[in-house]
């Protein structure tokens, strides 16, 4: 897994200002203390599961963070059966498990909820909010590439994007790392850091060398 303390150090060493962050796939905002300790004073959390969004809004009610509900994808308005996983919802996804069951046999889908997809671009517009974040972190359990395809605001504004990537098909028909690499390269980002688990997935940091806005 990427050492986010080192990621922030690396970006600042390279001359980038890092003061704000968007975390897409929030779960229960477990990384917040780390972000704040690294000087992040503006945070956006996007989470798919409505009950978790309600919990986040309550737990962060005294913080300046923005919490939004959204099943992020490359198009808006598609009805999906969002599967909820047994590991505190961390492996929840629009996709069915594939090799995930081999790597993590103790994790299963225990519930589902009918939700509607949105692009990040549309989500920001619907909430009358401007995407203004230096760094983005995506942890979307197979949906990361689709979310990036619907996030022109992120690709224009963020100078670095940390993405969860899969080397094997953990989720049925979910894109793999080489597809994310190719897309991010086409968008003007280069992969600068990466780290992998023994379970067929990891994280990659893509950095934009020339901001577009």
Compute the Cα dihedral for 162, 207, 44, 97 and give only its sign: negative
Quote the mean pLDDT of the chain.
97
| 139 close to 92: Cβ distance less than 8 angstroms | no
**pTM (global) more than 0.75:** yes
- The residue ranges of every structural domain in the chain are 4-208
Angle formed at CA 161 by CA 155 and CA 163, multiple of 5 degrees: 120
CATH, domain range 4-208: 3.40.50.150
155-164, pLDDT tens digit by residue? 999 999 999 9
Residue 96 carries which DSSP code?
P
Predicted confidence band of residue 102 (pLDDT cuts 50, 70, 90) = very high
Note the pLDDT of residue 210: 62
Residue 176's nearest CA partner among 202, 157, 209 is 202
Spell out the residues 6+ positions from residue 77 whose beta carbon is closer than 8 angstroms to its own.
116, 117, 118
Q: Rounded mean pLDDT of 6-22?
A: 97
Q: Give the C-alpha separation, 28 to 42, whole Å.
A: 17
Name all contacts of 100-105 with Cβ < 8 Å and 24+ positions apart.
100/170, 100/171, 103/170, 103/199, 103/200, 104/199
């Amino acid at each position: 897994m990427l050492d986010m303390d080192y990621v922030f150090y690396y970006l600042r060493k390279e001359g980038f200002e890092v003061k704000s962050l968007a975390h897409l796939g929030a779960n229960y905002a477990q990384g917040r203390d780390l972000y704040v300790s690294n000087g992040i004073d503006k945070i956006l959390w996007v989470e798919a599961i409505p009950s978790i969004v309600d919990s986040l809004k309550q737990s962060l009610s005294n913080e300046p963070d923005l919490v939004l509900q959204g099943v992020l994808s490359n198009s808006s308005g598609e009805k999906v059966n969002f599967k909820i996983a047994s590991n505190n919802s961390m492996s929840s996804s629009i996709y069915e498990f594939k090799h995930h069951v081999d790597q993590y046999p103790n994790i299963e889908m225990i519930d589902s909820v009918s939700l509607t997809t949105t692009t990040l671009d549309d989500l920001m517009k619907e909430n009358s909010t401007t995407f203004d974040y230096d760094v983005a972190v995506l942890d979307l359990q197979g949906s990361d590439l689709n979310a990036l395809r619907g996030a022109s605001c992120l690709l224009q504004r963020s100078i670095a994007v940390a993405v969860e990537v899969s080397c094997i098909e953990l989720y049925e028909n979910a894109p793999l790392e080489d597809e994310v690499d190719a897309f991010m390269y086409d968008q003007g980002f280069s992969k600068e850091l990466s780290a992998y688990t023994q379970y067929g997935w990891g994280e990659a940091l893509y950095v934009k060398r020339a901001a577009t806005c």
